[in-house]
Amino acid sequence: MNDNEKIVLVTGARGQLGHDIVKELTNHNIKYIATDSDDLDITDEKIVKDFFKNHSISHVIHSAAYTQVDKAEVEKELNHKINVYGTSNIVNECMKHDIPMVYFSTDYIFGGEGSEPYHVDDKANPLGEYAKSKYEGELLVKKLSKYYIVRISWVFGINGNNFIKTMLKLAETKNELNIVSDQIGSPTYTVDLSKLIIDMIQTDKYGVYHATNEGFVSWADFAREIFKRTNKNVVVHNVTTEEYNAKALRPKNSRLDKSKLVENGFSKLPTWQDALDRFLKELNN
């Protein structure tokens, strides 16, 4: 199928990742329909069914999700409704119409044991409500014959809230911060990830992937690097996960092994430091 014949459905197009996916589809002149909760509420089975009946969709990039990790511990039903029931509505239509589906999952489906990077086939052990719902979503997507499950972590992009924006905001009023230093993972820049996803959907290399920017870092060191590169005078104190005491449990080891990307002919994403520099430039423009 050439690019002109594709009509890609993007769910959650107003979100951090959806926004850059749409930009990258535009750059490639690939036709798309960008939707959000206003025009395609994924939790409404009838709306989803009618949508697929009325449009000729070639691929789905499913970026819509409930993403508030701590709030999900309280809003359990809403989290489940969007991430599990909503995903199942999309999966059912992809199955009915034989449409390849991209699903974004998370490092949080792992328990965070040890210090070795997790391989794509390692056993899941999701700790919190959000993580459990994203893993349930994975299991639903795996019923399809054509899927790309892409596990990502610590996402940042121009269109939404993320750790970098939070740090820069805090730097306006604080000169000391306590940041968790025993969770190690990799940031993922939505611009870099979107390029990979558009490459991916033009292949039939289906399966489970890990995709983040290269390199591992703790949240505390990530914050230090943000302040260093933006000349902010903020002292970062290391705290443990237990001391920070967030509502949702999170894995300490969020390292993901990304070798499958290269094995299947895809390019690795640039380092997180390089991505951070480009994101800060994007923020300033």
Q: Which residues are catalytic?
A: 130
CB of 238 to ligand NAP, least distance (A): 21
Total of chain residues touching ligand NAP, rule CB under 6 A: 27
Residue with tokens 């997790």: 118
CB of 15 to ligand NAP, least distance (A): 2
- Taking the C-alpha atoms of residue 218 and residue 222, their distance in angstroms, rounded to an integer, is 6
Among 30, 65, 226, 275, binds ligand NAP (CB under 6 A): 65
Closer by beta carbon to ligand NAP, 18 or else 117: 18
The answer to whether 254 contacts ligand NAP (rule: CB under 6 A) is no
Region of 268 (left: φ > 0; alpha: ψ -120 to 50; beta: rest) is beta
Closer by beta carbon to ligand NAP, 74 or else 235: 74
CB of 1 to ligand NAP, least distance (A): 25
CB of 4 to ligand NAP, least distance (A): 27
CB of 40 to ligand NAP, least distance (A): 6
**Six-digit token string for 127:** 């700790």
Rule CB under 6 A: which of 195-234 touch ligand NAP? none
Among 8, 10, 34, 42, binds ligand NAP (CB under 6 A): 42
Q: Where are the alpha helices (DSSP H) in the chain?
A: 16-27, 45-54, 76-80, 87-97, 129-141, 163-170, 190-200, 219-229, 241-244, 259-263, 272-284
The answer to whether 102 contacts ligand NAP (rule: CB under 6 A) is no
Binding mask 7-36 for ligand NAP (x = CB under 6 A): ----xx-xxxxx-----------------x
Give Rg (Cα) of the chain. 19
Asked if 276 and 229 count as a contact pair (C-beta separation under 8 A), the reply is yes
Q: Compute the 3-state secondary structure of the chain and give helix, strand, coil in percent, each to the nearest 5.
A: 40, 20, 40
**Six-digit token string for 253:** 């080891």
What type of residue is 97? H
The residues that touch ligand NAP, with contacts defined as CB under 6 A, are 11-12, 14-18, 36-37, 40-43, 63-65, 67, 82, 86, 104, 106, 134, 152-155, 160
